[in-house]
Structure 1
Amino acid sequence: MSIPQSGGGPITDPAQLAEYMASGCKPKDTWRIGTEHEKFGFCVDTLKPLPYDGDRSIHAVLAGLRDRFGWTPVEEGGHLIGLEKGGANVSLEPGGALELSGAQVETIHQTCDEVNDHLREVRSIADEIGVKFIGLGAAPVWTHDQMPLMPKGRYKLMDAYMDKVGTMGKVMMRRTTTVQVNLDFASEADMVKKLRVALSLQSVATALFANSPFFEGKPNGHKSWRSRVWRDLDASRTGIPAFAFEDGMGFERWADYALDVPMYFVYRDGTYIDALGMSFRDFMRGELPALPGEVPTLSDWADHLTTLFPEARIKKYMEMRGADGGPWRRLCALPAFWVGLMYDESALDAAWDLAKNWDQETRLALRVAASEDGLQAEAGGVKMHDLARECLAIAEAGLVARGKAGAGGLVPDETHFLNALKESVETGKVPADELLDDYHGKWGGDLDRIYAERSY
């Protein structure tokens, strides 16, 4: 989850809301890639999730990274809740999952170097205290009560609110993880085109990265339970916004959408002030019940944008939100997939050609089908396996066209980062299928074996 935003004075003109997002527009030669991934920590001997405090805990991992590898601590209320270094940050998800939000880098080679360095650092600390980490879209065995809420004011407020707006919010907070990529846009028109491709094809990412077929100790009937959870979280801030495909879509229309999403909080002087269910429109008029007479700052607006959770979202960049957390080698595959589709104009055009004739019903049905059936999904006459194959071919061509070499020029482009996804298309099996094969096969229904065989 996002950290508090900073910078920006009072909002005196509603036009500033759209202008804030438009200020992220960049020329193509300055586009960057920001990759985020989350993973669950557990104690090797008990297979239980990590508490916040103690010898074997999230705090111990953060403190170890701080002391040994020079990360700068981030504290809230006297608690160590994150780390910063070189444009990257390490933070805590509500149930204690550890997240790396990577720096903005130019190539996927750099992304993968960053991910590998981070996981090696984490493992060096974790091994010494009897802890491991595992990349899955949902906690396979642990219950709600086994996953304590981390000591962050934002999470305390959200936790109290979730049951009022849906049935799965607390599950999302504590027991799901994801891998995401943040990408740039050149202009409003470029943003709109990329957003439409992103919202349409998130179902492909959900299918290819589906990695959460278990929940509370047994198969749950879905390839991506994480995706299923998001469908019953809060309809006002999740899903695939239909307006994104309508005439007149742009930064101002996204701002109008965001204004109608109920608030969670206002951050002031290190404290999260309860604004649950209140209106940012009222805040703009100085009529927010939580802060009567006060008008919002651009930092408040930036914070509010982080509380919108559609399948792809706009801030000063675009964030792809459709994939389950996964194994080490797949963490670089997600940025490769989306960069290949988005950062070459011919590839972006080809990707839009795949989806431009779909109606909203088809987009929504594919989202559900991907969650349930992975590559075997089918909706609106669209077969996911075929669609994924076409998307990967386009992404590969897009990465070839980028021509970003790695390993000192020995690797000519970034296409090899798609190999794990190409294997899935060739076999028809995504990580969830492999997990289910092991569960019904060599594991003999013993789900505890997932920890030894899938941990980092």
Structure 2
Amino acid sequence: MARDVTDSTPIASRDALVEWLAAGCKSAGAPLLVGTEHEKIAFYSDLLAPVPYGCDGGRCGVGRLLEGVQEATGWEPIMDRDALIGLAQTDGGGAISIEPGGQFELSGAPLLDIHATDAELGAHLSALAGVAHSLGVQFLDLGASPKWSRAETPVMPKQRYKIMAAYMPKVGARGLDMMFRTATIQANLDFVSETDMVEKVRVGLALQPLVTALFANSPFLDGKPTGRLSERSNIWLDTDADRTGMLPFAFEEGFGFERYVDYALDVPMYFVKRGDVYHDVAGASFRDLLDGRLPQLPGERAVMSDWANHLSTIFPEVRIKTYLEMRGADGGPRAHMTALPALFAGLFYDSVALDQARQLTKGWSAAARQQLREDVPSLALDATIDGRSLREIGRDVLALAEAGLKRRARVNAEGADETIYLAPLQKIVSEGRTLAQLRLEAFHGAWGGSVDGAFRDCVIPL
């Protein structure tokens, strides 16, 4: 999330929270849009070192990257007190933010199709290129930082991250690794009704382990292989059980906006923002804030911005806001940044494909889905559920998505439809080898047993 919400409308009741989510339902005839987010791990190309926020000894970092992109785009600054921490498109579309360890993120605008997403991505990288080159900065296309320890990783000047970093070790062993050393790609999709939301959440949750397998691209940490293909996904398994996971209750009868609100209300808070100050209330109950009896802020009552900001601190494999967020993919190369939204546009925005995906996954039990989630960081496409490998299931799902995109029939200037963006995933399934496996082969071969090769071969071209 690039910018914390500032809506000061008082929350009258729990029903208002349900209505806030339900307001995301698209009206009949309104276009269904796709948003794409991607994080990129920055490094100094001559030092193979992480990029801090500020300047030191004539060398500048992430803050200057933001300033340079602002100069190139004219986007509005997002400030945390005196620190520039992000940029927002002037028409309210996309935004740029920095993650805790300096990961550079584009939160793309909601767009009509993947062709527009591809154009947005090209414009973003072009705007970034000039200032990045002048600073000697490049970006890894990996899902986890391969070389630097947590202690060596810089910390960005954001109040909310300071609060989160203090709380994370209390609720899991890997929360700080998640914050400071991972990167992801995310796709955001619309829903048209509560029923439609429920169907998409269920399909999305069931398929997130497949997404993790297809996009597995984080086999290194601390300068060596971890023994897993998606260390990023493995890290999430021990981050904070209260706010992560596969949401088994989403498959229960009666699931809808109200049930998700009740779940979110029971997720402990991190902060309450008032003005420019983030008040540390980590571990507190949002229900207490609703009732005006939060011990840390006596008498303070919840407003709608508190709710929106609280939802942004919940991290299940599929997150519900006024749209749906698919959260299972490792960070990766440019082709993966368009492949993920293409996959879900094909599945979610075609009624036939969505129904067939639901039929494919509806027989999977909660226990089987959870076991798959736990197996997939190590096994990727070789993980199985109900006697079938994810490689087999991936062929079926990609075929459904391809057919859905063909029926959408959104073509670019050359007459190509959106199925062109599925090509990297189809190659992975066809060959049965993920990016992580290819990079492990390079580590044991051309890189000579050193992750330094990644800083040459796993770089996003600008």
Q: What TM-score do the two structures reach when normalised by structure 1?
A: 0.98
Identity over aligned pairs, percent: 48
- Return 5+ residue gaps in structure 2 as ranges: none
The aligned counterpart of 2:83 is 79
User: CA offset at residue 8 of structure 1?
Assistant: 4.9
The aligned counterpart of 2:197 is 191
- Tell me, in whole angstroms, the C-alpha distance in 2 between the residues paired with 1:279 and 1:56: 40
- Tell me, in whole angstroms, the C-alpha distance in 2 between the residues paired with 1:345 and 1:292: 49
The aligned counterpart of 1:24 is 24
Question: What amino acid does structure 1 have at the position aligned with 2:310?
Answer: H
The aligned counterpart of 1:45 is 46
Matches within 5 A, 1:227-238: 227-238=233-244
- Tell me, in whole angstroms, the C-alpha distance in 2 between the residues paired with 1:154 and 1:136: 25
CA contact (8 A) 1:40 1:134 kept: yes
CA contact (8 A) 2:405 2:418 kept: yes
User: CA offset at residue 298 of structure 1?
Assistant: 1.1
More displaced 10-residue stretch of structure 1: 243-252 or 441-450: 441-450
User: CA offset at residue 96 of structure 1?
Assistant: 0.4
The aligned counterpart of 2:210 is 204
- Tell me, in whole angstroms, the C-alpha distance in 1 between the residues paired with 2:157 and 2:36: 25
Question: What amino acid does structure 1 have at the position aligned with 2:242?
Answer: S
User: CA offset at residue 435 of structure 1?
Assistant: 0.4
- Tell me, in whole angstroms, the C-alpha distance in 1 between the residues paired with 2:357 and 2:435: 24
User: CA offset at residue 75 of structure 1?
Assistant: 1.2
2:377 counterpart of 1:376: no
The aligned counterpart of 2:156 is 150
Does the residue aligned with 1:400 lie in a helix, a strand or coil?
helix
The aligned counterpart of 2:425 is 421
2:305 counterpart of 1:304: no
User: CA offset at residue 68 of structure 1?
Assistant: 2.7
More displaced 10-residue stretch of structure 1: 435-444 or 24-33: 24-33
Q: 1:453 is matched with which residue: 451, 457, 460?
A: 457
User: CA offset at residue 3 of structure 1?
Assistant: 2.3
User: CA offset at residue 380 of structure 1?
Assistant: 3.9
The aligned counterpart of 2:274 is 268
CA contact (8 A) 1:24 1:317 kept: yes
- Tell me, in whole angstroms, the C-alpha distance in 2 between the residues paired with 1:220 and 1:367: 18
CA contact (8 A) 1:365 1:380 kept: no
2:112 counterpart of 1:111: no
The list of structure 1 runs, each at least 4 consecutive aligned residues, that deviate by more than 6 angstroms after superposition, is none
CA contact (8 A) 1:44 1:130 kept: yes
Q: Deviations over 1:129-176 (max 9, x none)?
A: 211111211101111011121000000000000000000000000000
User: CA offset at residue 2 of structure 1?
Assistant: 4.4
CA RMSD across the alignment: 1.1
Question: What amino acid does structure 1 have at the position aligned with 2:445?
Answer: G
- Tell me, in whole angstroms, the C-alpha distance in 2 between the residues paired with 1:138 and 1:29: 38
- Tell me, in whole angstroms, the C-alpha distance in 2 between the residues paired with 1:58 and 1:2: 15
Does the residue aligned with 1:73 lie in a helix, a strand or coil?
strand
User: CA offset at residue 405 of structure 1?
Assistant: 1.2
CA contact (8 A) 2:3 2:78 kept: no
User: CA offset at residue 310 of structure 1?
Assistant: 0.4
User: CA offset at residue 60 of structure 1?
Assistant: 1.3
Does the residue aligned with 1:133 lie in a helix, a strand or coil?
strand
Question: What amino acid does structure 1 have at the position aligned with 2:61?
Answer: S
The aligned counterpart of 1:60 is 64
Q: 1:172 is matched with which residue: 169, 178, 182?
A: 178
The aligned counterpart of 1:440 is 444
Q: 1:247 is matched with which residue: 233, 243, 253?
A: 253
Matches within 5 A, 1:335-354: 335-354=341-360
- Tell me, in whole angstroms, the C-alpha distance in 2 between the residues paired with 1:68 and 1:311: 34
CA contact (8 A) 1:89 1:101 kept: yes
- Tell me, in whole angstroms, the C-alpha distance in 2 between the residues paired with 1:382 and 1:286: 51
The aligned counterpart of 1:5 is 5
User: CA offset at residue 7 of structure 1?
Assistant: 2.2
Does the residue aligned with 1:331 lie in a helix, a strand or coil?
helix
- Tell me, in whole angstroms, the C-alpha distance in 2 between the residues paired with 1:316 and 1:7: 15
- Tell me, in whole angstroms, the C-alpha distance in 2 between the residues paired with 1:372 and 1:277: 32
User: CA offset at residue 57 of structure 1?
Assistant: 0.5
CA contact (8 A) 2:40 2:183 kept: yes
CA contact (8 A) 1:56 1:131 kept: no
CA contact (8 A) 1:72 1:84 kept: yes
Q: Deviations over 1:328-385 (max 9, x none)?
A: 1211000001111111010000111111011011111111222111112224423110
CA contact (8 A) 2:2 2:96 kept: no
- Tell me, in whole angstroms, the C-alpha distance in 1 between the residues paired with 2:381 and 2:246: 20
- Tell me, in whole angstroms, the C-alpha distance in 2 between the residues paired with 1:120 and 1:224: 29
Question: What amino acid does structure 1 have at the position aligned with 2:44?
Answer: C
Question: What amino acid does structure 1 have at the position aligned with 2:31?
Answer: T
Question: What amino acid does structure 2 have at the position aligned with 1:52?
Answer: Y
Does the residue aligned with 2:162 lie in a helix, a strand or coil?
helix
